Amino acid sequence: MHRLLKQSADGSLNRYYASPRYAVGNEQVCDGILLCQGSTAVFFEFKGSMFRADAKWGSNSAVLERELQAKLVEGKDGEPKGVKQLANAISNVFRDRRAVAGLDLGCVDKVYPVLVTYDEIGDAWFLGSYLNEWFRRAVNGKNISATVTPLFCMSADCLEGLAGVLNSVPLSSILEARYKQDKSLKLPFWLPNNAALKGVKWAAAATLAEASEELGREAERLFPNSLPPYQA
């Protein structure tokens, strides 16, 4: 995700910072911060845990909730996960004024928390509204210097699709337009007719195109007699 976002952002509309750390203490703030035209910021957490099949496809909702809690909200030992990591990071920076090394966030007046899952569950119906209940409880809005939007949730596949337009559209505009489509955030992120994407020409992010070429060449090397010569 770091390579994808760093190469896709054009630097003026979107500028990505991977694994930012606090200036004092050196702990990681969150998995990534993307600045959109200077005045808005997107705080990312990426979650690589895969969910058990019986949790996703079974009929026992208690099993699913335990998985969601343990992997996206709070671990069994009380360790913050996903939702609470984002809430803590935003509170630390915009309430407690903890400075981020090499990154001036003093002009940021709006923050978008985004949770990305490598599991497809990130695109599940009602997941966004469920996680937002926990996010609202975890983030303390008092004395926070920036407006904090609801938490957005999506799969890595969804973010990969969006990466192809980050050289022409601020991610904050896409998130804002998505929120206006469905303020309850009950539906999957990828809805048609996002106003910020109207008229935008779509193309695969350069990182994904490079990865596809590398995969083709590697497959040809491993199976030289089984596949036709790779052509980009």
Residue 104 within a domain: yes
Residue 208 pLDDT > 50? no
Tell me the mean pLDDT in the region 209-222.
60
Lowest-confidence range among 33-37, 144-148, 175-179, 209-213? 209-213
Residue 56 located in a structural domain: yes
CATH number of the structural domain spanning residue 118: 3.40.91
The 3 state secondary structure assigned to the chain is CHHHHHHHCCCCCEEEEECCEECCCCCECCCEEEEECCCEEEEEEEECCCCCHHHHHCCCHHHHHHHHHHHHHECCCCCECCHHHHHHHHHHHHCCCCCECCECCCCCCEEEEEEEECCHHHHCCCHHHHHHHHHHHHCCCCCCCCEECCCEEEEHHHHHHHHCCCCCCCHHHHHHHHHHHCCCCCCCCCCCCCHHHCCCCCCCCHHHHHHHHHHHHHHHHHCCCCCCCCCC
In a domain, 76, yes or no: yes
> How many structural domains are present in the chain?
1
Q: What average pLDDT does range 73-92 have in this prediction? A: 94
Residue 151 lies in a domain: yes
114 CB-contact burial (10 Å; exposed 0-12 / middle 13-18 / buried 19+): buried
Report if residue 210 sits inside a domain. Answer: no
pTM of the predicted structure, to 2 decimals: 0.86
**In this structure, is residue 18 part of a structural domain?**
yes
Q: Which whole number is the average pLDDT over 36-56?
A: 92
183 located within any domain: yes
Please report whether residue 186 resides in a domain.
yes
Can you give the residue range of the structural domain that contains 28? 2-201
Percent of the chain's residues with pLDDT above 90: 63
Q: Which residues pair with 44 in a beta bridge?
A: 32, 114
Q: What does the pLDDT read at residue 38?
A: 72
When pLDDT is cut at 50, 70 and 90, the band that residue 12 belongs to is: confident
Cα distance between residue 21 and residue 37, in whole Å: 21
Q: Which two tokens stand for residue 52?
A: 């058990």
User: Which residue did the predictor score with more confidence, 80 or 142?
Assistant: 80
If pLDDT is split at 50, 70 and 90, which confidence band does 100 have? very high
